[in-house]
């Protein structure tokens, strides 16, 4: 068994524009000053409630509730309207095909919702490539290891047979907590230096490099 568990936003797809736009709408609806986009990108990967608590620690519960619902509504609307931007990173579709052909089982562990992840993967024709999809709907936020533990059980793999691939320190810390190898990617939202400092064994600079590091 070889199990590769991917983060989604910042690793498989580049959803930063849509995430930032939805977060800005959420903060406006809650009458809160919007964080700058660099700050928003820093929390990508966390579950939405956790992200809002980090971005607006002094906001009231009512404001958090308004922001949360507005964010979800903004994403649903953009998805229905066909304006949601979540392109695959260069080379990712081909990498997934090569890994599948080489006998890897694939999974996802993400701060997205079930609906958001399913829609994203289906739009790229990849939904059938993954044996396990773990989201924030059913687990505590990263870096809690619950998502990885569930993916291992669902895939029938042990921690030493798996590797977590992600772009944030949340992914790396989660992997370490689950006893799983962690490889970072440099095309996401946290720097390679941060990923290595948290315990990533290496940081990939391209999909081809990532494939080499996974061997």
Q: In which element (H, E) is residue 192 found?
A: helix 192-197
31 is catalytic: no
Integer Rg of the chain from CA: 17
Question: Could you tell me how far CA 200 lies from the centroid of its own chain?
Answer: 16
CB-count burial class (<10 Å; 0-12, 13-18, 19+) for 24: middle
As given in the structure block, the two tokens for residue 60 are: 């009231």
| Coil, strand or helix at 78 | helix
As given in the structure block, the two tokens for residue 69 are: 């619902």
- The neighbour count for residue 153, using CB atoms within 10 Å, is 10
CA atoms within 13 A on the CB side of 198: 23
Total residues belonging to the chain? 215
Q: Return d(Cα 99, Cα 85) in angstroms, integer.
A: 25
> Peptide bond before 143: cis, by omega within 30 degrees of 0?
yes
171 is catalytic: no
Catalytic residue, from 7, 14, 167, 171: name it: 7
- Catalytic machinery residues: 7, 9
């Amino acid at each position: 068994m070889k199990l590769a568990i991917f983060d989604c936003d910042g690793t498989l797809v580049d959803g930063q524009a849509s995430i930032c736009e939805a977060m800005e709408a959420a903060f406006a609806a809650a009458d809160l000053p919007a964080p700058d986009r660099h700050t928003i990108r820093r929390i990508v990967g966390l579950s939405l409630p956790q992200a809002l608590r980090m971005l607006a620690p002094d906001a009231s519960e009512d404001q958090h509730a308004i922001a949360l619902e507005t964010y979800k509504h903004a994403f649903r609307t953009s998805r229905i309207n066909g304006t949601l931007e979540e392109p695959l990173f260069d080379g990712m579709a081909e990498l997934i095909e090569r890994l599948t052909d080489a006998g890897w089982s694939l999974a996802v562990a993400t701060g997205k919702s079930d609906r958001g992840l399913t829609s994203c993967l289906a739009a790229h024709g990849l939904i059938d490539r993954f044996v396990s999809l773990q989201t924030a709907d059913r687990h505590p936020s990263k870096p809690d290891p619950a998502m990885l533990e569930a993916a291992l059980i669902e895939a029938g793999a042990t921690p030493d047979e798996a590797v977590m691939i992600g772009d944030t320190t949340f992914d790396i810390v989660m992997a370490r907590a689950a006893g799983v190898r962690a490889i970072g990617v440099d095309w996401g939202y946290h720097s390679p230096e941060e990923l290595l400092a948290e315990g990533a064994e290496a940081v990939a600079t391209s999909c081809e490099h990532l494939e080499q590091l996974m061997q």
